[in-house]
Structure 1
Amino acid sequence: MTTTAVSPDARQLWRRGRGPLVAVAALVLAGLLLALLGAGEDGTLHPRSATQHGSRAVAELLADRGVDTTLATTAAQAARAAGPDTTLLVARPEALTDGQRRTLAEATAGTGGRTVLVAPGQVTLDDLAPGVRAIDPVEAQELEPDCDVPAARRAGGARLGGYGYVQAGAPTDAVLACYPIPGVPYTVPTLLGIQKDAGGDTVLLGAPDILYNQNLDEDGNASLALQLLGSRPHLVWYLPSGEAPASGDEESITGLIDPGWRWAALQLAIAAALAALWRARRLGPVVPERLPVAVRAAETTEGRARLYHQTNARDRAADALRAATRTRLAPLTGVPPAAAHSPEALPPAVAARTGEAPAAVHALLFGPPPADDTALVRLADDLDALERRLAPLDAFDPTKDTKDKDHTP
Structure 2
Amino acid sequence: MTSAAPSAAGAASPAASPERSARRRRLGGWIAIAVVVLLVGGVGAVLASVSQWAERGALDPESAGPDGAMAVVNILREHGVEVVVARDHTTARAALDGQSATLVMPDTPALSDEAVAGLADGARDAVLLAPRARTLRLLLHGSSPAGYGTAAPSSPGCDVADARRAGAIVAGAVYRPGDGVAACYPSGDGHALLVHDTGAHRVSAVDGRALFVNESLADDGNAALAINLMGRHGRVVWYMPGVGDTDLAGGAPTLGDLTPPWVSPAIVLLLVAGIAAAVWRGRRFGPLVAERLPVTVRASETTEGRARLYARARDTVHAADQLRIAALARLARLLGLGPAASAAEIADAAADRLAWDRRAVRGILIDELPANDAALVALRDRLRHLEEAVRQAVRPERNTP
TM-score (norm 1): 0.54
1:203 to 2:204 alignment:
yes
Q: Which amino acid aligns with 1:106?
A: G
Q: Equivalences for 1:319-358 in 2 at 5 Å?
A: none
**2:73 corresponds to which of 46, 59, 73:** 59
1:207 Cα offset (Å) = 4.8
1:87 to 2:102 alignment:
yes
**Which residue number in structure 2 is paired with residue 181 of structure 1?**
187
Larger Rg: 1
1:59 Cα offset (Å) = 1.2
Q: Distance in 1 between matches of 2:117 and 2:240?
A: 16
Q: Which amino acid aligns with 1:150?
A: A
1:243 Cα offset (Å) = 2.2
Q: Higher relative CO (CA 8 A, sep ≥ 6), structure 1 or 2?
A: 1
1:282 Cα offset (Å) = 9.8
Q: Which amino acid aligns with 2:197?
A: Q
Q: Deviations over 1:152-180 (max 9, x none)?
A: 1111012222132222x4xx4xx221111
1:14 Cα offset (Å) = 5.7
Q: Deviations over 1:312-357 (max 9, x none)?
A: xxxxxxxxxxxxxxxxxxxxxxxxxxxxxxxxxxxxxxxxxxxxxx
**1:164 corresponds to which of 165, 172, 175:** 175
**2:281 corresponds to which of 257, 280, 283:** 283
Q: Equivalences for 1:224-263 in 2 at 5 Å?
A: 224-243=225-244, 245-246=246-247, 248=249, 250-253=251-254
Residues 176/244 of structure 1: CA separation in 2 closer, same or farther (3 Å cut):
closer
**2:34 corresponds to which of 2, 17, 21:** 21
1:18 Cα offset (Å) = 3.6
Q: Distance in 2 between matches of 1:255 and 1:74?
A: 25
Q: Deviations over 1:187-246 (max 9, x none)?
A: x3220111135x220001135211111101111111111221211221111122322542
Q: Distance in 1 between matches of 2:154 and 2:22?
A: 75
1:128 Cα offset (Å) = 2.4
1:15 Cα offset (Å) = 2.2
Which consecutive residues of structure 1, in runs of 5 or more, have no partner in the other structure? 257-268, 287-409
Which consecutive residues of structure 2, in runs of 5 or more, have no partner in the other structure? 1-8, 258-266, 285-401
* Contact 1:92/1:239, CA 8 A, preserved across alignment: no
Residues 112/240 of structure 1: CA separation in 2 closer, same or farther (3 Å cut):
closer
Q: Deviations over 1:73-123 (max 9, x none)?
A: 222222232355211111233x333x2x311312432x5611111121221
**Which residue number in structure 2 is paired with residue 73 of structure 1?**
87
Percent identity among equivalent residues? 26
1:10 Cα offset (Å) = 9.5
Q: Which amino acid aligns with 1:224?
A: L
Q: Distance in 2 between matches of 1:176 and 1:252?
A: 40
Q: Secondary structure at the match of 1:227?
A: helix
1:37 to 2:50 alignment:
yes
Residues 79/129 of structure 1: CA separation in 2 closer, same or farther (3 Å cut):
farther
Residues 229/121 of structure 1: CA separation in 2 closer, same or farther (3 Å cut):
same
Q: Distance in 1 between matches of 2:239 and 2:256?
A: 19
Residues 9/120 of structure 1: CA separation in 2 closer, same or farther (3 Å cut):
same
* Contact 1:163/1:207, CA 8 A, preserved across alignment: no
Q: Distance in 1 between matches of 2:51 and 2:100?
A: 33
Q: Distance in 2 between matches of 1:226 and 1:211?
A: 10
Q: Distance in 2 between matches of 1:85 and 1:248?
A: 31
Residues 121/140 of structure 1: CA separation in 2 closer, same or farther (3 Å cut):
farther
1:148 to 2:154 alignment:
no
Residues 7/246 of structure 1: CA separation in 2 closer, same or farther (3 Å cut):
same
Q: Deviations over 1:360-407 (max 9, x none)?
A: xxxxxxxxxxxxxxxxxxxxxxxxxxxxxxxxxxxxxxxxxxxxxxxx
**Which residue number in structure 2 is paired with residue 104 of structure 1?**
116
* Contact 1:88/1:235, CA 8 A, preserved across alignment: yes
**Which residue number in structure 1 is paired with residue 196 of structure 2?**
194
**Aligned residue pair count:** 255
* Contact 1:55/1:212, CA 8 A, preserved across alignment: yes
